[in-house]
Amino acid sequence: MTFLNKSLNKTPAGVLASVLRVALGVIFVYAAWLKLHEPWALFAMAIDSYQVLPAWAVEVVARALPWFELLLGTLLIAGVWRKPATIAASLLLALFFGLMVRAMAKGMQIDCGCFGPGERLSWTTLLRDGALLASSVFVTTMALRSARGTGQVTCPT
């Protein structure tokens, strides 16, 4: 398990990528923790308000997503399986961001569901999630370059 990638940290971009990877991991763990400490039905209501999933899928996502976020955050913090973890984080954040943009474009007045119940979807949440997505894409790009450039195996050793 590697907390910080030694070859990446030789450059300012590498240091930034490592710091952002850990920060993203902490954010995912925090979001998961907040959702797991509330009844899953509250999170399900936030998911359902986006009006994109059938009822059965809303329940599955509401029960599973916080655990996936917890796992993903832990992997990002630990620096293991860096390539798949950063790709998963970027894809998940892109999905969240796309759903939020769609909801804003439709004029929906809903909770974003980002950090549990009670946070209204707004331009501020859109800006925050856009920044998280941009950070994640940068971290993913750096992880892919590192894995390709050094012949590094992306699984833990």
pLDDT at 148: 66
pLDDT > 70: percent of the chain: 87
Which string of b and e fits 46-77 if b means at least 16 CB within 10 Å? Answer: bbbbbeeeeeeebbebbeebbeebbebbebbb
pLDDT surpassing 50 at residue 152: no
pLDDT for the residue numbered 127: 96
> Tens of pLDDT along 50-98?
999 999 999 999 999 999 999 999 999 999 999 999 999 999 999 999 9
**Domain residue ranges in the chain:** 12-146
Distance CA 90, CA 144 (A): 12
User: Over 90: is that where the pLDDT of 1 sits?
Assistant: no
Non-local (6+) Cβ contacts of 3 within 8 A are 22, 77, 78, 79
Summarised one tens digit per residue, pLDDT across range 33-59 is 999 999 889 999 999 999 999 999 999
Q: Is the pLDDT of residue 124 over 90?
A: yes
